[in-house]
Chain A
């Protein structure tokens, strides 16, 4: 035997066998790691036991279990899974009759991409963000490519974020009637492009105002001062004015009062003395009447000035309102619009002073004129009396 083993022919055979067998074994393991097969849910999926034309009987296992979904087996060892469902997903291994692993497949099931549901947000004139969702879930990872254009202009990329759920366009050609977004979703089972026409002009919707502050005015039990900042996403330039709607009501009331302003502060003059008030603000592009109002800012609660007032504005959760027991609280929400009423305190006071001075002058003139008239009448009356007396004296002196 040692002689046999040491013979050069035998060594050559062993070397050849080890050379030829080793790589094929390695190939199986490599395949096991890399061979991912995709199939459509609800269809028949065929799994082949490797590339070779195996004529020996094979055994298939799913996730190491011999229980397989509804299937057929072909004579060449291929497994045909019928009308596959999600439960048919997993790692399929095929073995020869001696239990040697021949091939391994990771089966993933899903749908090819369908149409996408796309919506776009336009928080200002320089930025558009479009988000999408599958109408039908694909269950498979997809790649997205998005492009955007205004009517009659070139396609330009809409930059897709890492999550693959939305894309952004900076500095779009805003003043165009219609824009088109084109999103192509690609997965292992196919590719589908969705086109959507959007009207940026109508979709313009600023973010809500920021840093809203509601303060009492000391000494005035029915006044509140409301101030806020423009949304930080809105360009602070002359060309982009915003109009703000301020609404307020006594806490518990269903009736809102409204004020519109283009400034970033306003004074409420008709707050209900001694009551907590809810205040909210929203913004809209002042020029574009077709654009949308921003969301309301969170409710702020504040009480007007009282003799011993110590209330600070607090942010209030929406549901607090419903718990509060106020006498009038059962009708649907209504509001009382008010005209634009920005604060011009200094100007207002100066105006009032000038008005009072003018009024005093008028009153004084009137009084003086009346005095003058009365004095004139009196003088005339005196004069008449004198004349009468003179004429009487004259008449007396005339001899009869």
Chain B
């Protein structure tokens, strides 16, 4: 009995002591749960970071644009002012279609890079995985707000790249475009955040 009592008291004391750091470290203000838009914007930023890393690691400084990719999402018609007046559903649908198109392009680049044993392959694989995850997340959110899914455009990809230099050039072009797309998409998601709360 004595032993039991001793051990129980020690246990109780230990438990209380163990609770101390939990109590002290826990934020007293309840954490706001991240919304879908938070997740979408965070994931887009993550993708943008990966893209920037790839661009830095495989630097290819060129002011000349090769224009190999004719079917990338059109960015020339997107201005800073548009971000002010975005409509939730059409924007989500458009971003989804754009991301699907980029996914096709990057999968192609991954295949070509593998063939040429390009050192960027592991990071490209990671990028494609992140991209797919973002597309799925976006699709789930589209279902929630009943945004229609657009028919994805057919990508027109270069027939074949005979040299390592072509792969490098294509990779640079694609990553440059995608970085800018991510920048715009991120801004679109954070602009749409108040509109989502209005819909829900």
Contact = CB atoms under 8 A, between A and B. Distances in A.
Interface in B98-153: none
Contacts of A151: 65, 67, 76
B183 A126 contact: no
Given A238-B190, A290-B52, A351-B27, A173 B78 contact: yes
* In the complex, the 8 A-B pairs of residues with the closest C-beta atoms, listed nearest first: A125-B80, A354-B28, A239-B187, A351-B28, A373-B9, A239-B83, A197-B63, A175-B75
Interface string B70-85: 0000011111110110
Interface of A: 124-126, 150-153, 171, 173-178, 197, 201, 235, 237-241, 287-290, 347, 350-352, 354-355, 358-359, 362, 365-366, 369-370, 373, 376-377, 380
Interface in B143-198: 173, 176-177, 179-181, 183-184, 186-188, 190-191, 193-194
B59 to A, nearest CB: 13
A381 to B, nearest CB: 10
Contacts of A347: 29
A175 B181 contact: yes
Contacts of B17: 366
Nearest to B19: A362
A287 B45 contact: yes
Interface residues of B, number: 46
Contacts of B78: 173, 175
Contacts of B188: 239
Given A126-B81, A175-B184, A235-B80, A359 B176 contact: no
B199 interface: no
Given A177-B176, A238-B194, A287-B186, A366 B80 contact: no
Interface in B11-25: 12-13, 16-17, 19-20, 23-24
Contacts of B32: none
Contacts of B49: 289
Given A173-B78, A239-B84, A287-B186, 13 more contacts: A150-B76, A153-B76, A173-B79, A239-B188, A287-B187, A289-B49, A351-B29, A362-B20, A366-B13, A369-B13, A373-B12, A380-B2, A380-B5
Contact of A177 (B9, B27, B65, B81): B65
A241 B190 contact: yes
A198 B5 CA distance: 79
B12 A369 contact: yes
B162 to A, nearest CB: 24
Contacts of A362: 16, 19-20, 23
A173 B28 CA distance: 46
22 contacts: A171-B81, A175-B75, A175-B78, A175-B181, A175-B183, A175-B184, A176-B75, A177-B173, A178-B63, A178-B65, A197-B63, A201-B180, A235-B80, A238-B193, A238-B194, A239-B190, A239-B191, A241-B190, A287-B183, A289-B49, A358-B23, A373-B12
A365 B23 CA distance: 13
Contacts of B27: 351
Nearest to B172: A177
